[in-house]
Amino acid sequence: MKMQVLMMTIGLLILSLVAQPVWWFGFIREWVTADRRIRQERLTFGSAVYSDKYEVRHFVLLSLLFGLIGSVISFAVGMTIPLGWWLIYTALAALAIILGLGARLPITIFVGSVVLYVWCNSIGVTQQLIAPMRQFSFSGETVTLGNLIILLGVALFTFGIWLKKIGGRFASPKIFAQKRGKLIAGYPFNELLVVPMLVLVPGNFLSAHLPFWPVLSLGGTTVTPLFLPLLIGLHLTIFKQNPKTVFKGLSKAVVILSLFILVGGILSLFVTSSTLIVLGLAYLCYLGCLISTRWHDRKQSFWFSKVDHGVRVLGIKPETPAAKMDIQVGDIITTCNQQPVSSETNFYEALLLDPTYCHLKIQTPEGDLKVTETAIFDGAPHEIGIVMFKD
């Protein structure tokens, strides 16, 4: 009997996840983003660099994975959040995704929702809103804001791990024109994650109308498990460095910051007056990480630009001969099959000299020279998989 109740509870929670509108808004957003990227790649380079919708794959798999891990931890420690804040955050998250700001402002939305909740509490708006809802078993019981600081630390830790896993793995180039008409390539990272994290909210407002909905007792307080659509995302274009290196450094900084925030959150549980101070410092440090990353990229002298003494490698298509060669984004191919090359046309003409093999001499962005070679598809030089500036 207990097992049946447990399975029913799990089933109901999964049903509530499926019905979570913010998650579906995020899913649609990632689908549209992937479609736009693929169309842009085909328009710019003649074919897609990454033909699969990896943004959608990342969204579905990683949101559910992080959601499962986060929910287990949250449930184990009894993470309780105020109902008023849950409503404010969920509404802001949905609005941000609809307006196209979900990936740009995930932490700003979190911090802003906390500030808005505190302000509403200070002028009595929250209690005024919840008062008429108490007849539906909504609870106006206060919850320490230290829990929200801890939740922010969890969000940033998840952000850091997520960025380390996927940041720079799919370096899709986008062509930009500088003021004097010089063409350069940048590498936009524009992905969003909606992590469905199970949290506890005071009250039994769901079970009062849906008797089968699970209700728990925590420290003598009745709480209801709900999914919080936690936004994780980043919108940043890299112009002068290897994208994978940049995002690896940013992820490390964010993970370290998240650990300090978790400590600050625990401290604020005991010293409630420090809550907003910890929140403000955490947000400023997060902004500092982003600004520092962008500034460090912009101050480099290197550009992913066209060159006169070869052809610049802007990308490598997966599962192609080029993916098996020692080629990196930013490298310059100086000769192909013993022939000097300086344009896309020269490059493919040199490839045709040997229809089944490719021998390249390459100069790295640091100025080092290297040689790499591989077999290619017979009679299909354009399928070698190297992305470069079009003539």
pLDDT tens for each residue of 270-282: 888 888 899 999 9
The answer to whether 286 and 258 have CB atoms below 8 angstroms apart is no
Q: What are phi and psi of 271, to 5 degrees?
A: -120, 85
Pick the residue with more confidence: 258 or 204? 258
Q: What are phi and psi of 313, to 5 degrees?
A: -85, 120
pTM for this predicted structure: 0.86
Predicted local distance difference test score (pLDDT) of residue 8 = 44
* List of E strands, the chain: 174-177, 183-202, 216-218, 221-238, 304-305, 311-312, 315-316, 332-336, 339-340, 357-363, 369-375, 386-387
pLDDT over 70 (residue 200): yes
Q: How far is CA 147 from CA 93, 141, 291, in A?
A: 19, 14, 27
Predicted local distance difference test score (pLDDT) of residue 216 = 55
Pick the residue with more confidence: 145 or 258? 258
Predicted local distance difference test score (pLDDT) of residue 5 = 40
pLDDT tens digits, 306-358: 888 899 999 999 888 888 888 889 999 999 888 899 888 888 888 888 777 88
DSSP 3-state of 195: strand
Task: State the Cα–Cα distance between residues 107 and 155, nearest whole angstrom.
Answer: 8
Retrieve residue 260's tokens. Answer: 């300090």
DSSP 165-176: HHTTTS---EEE
Predicted local distance difference test score (pLDDT) of residue 352 = 84
The answer to whether 322 and 351 have CB atoms below 8 angstroms apart is no
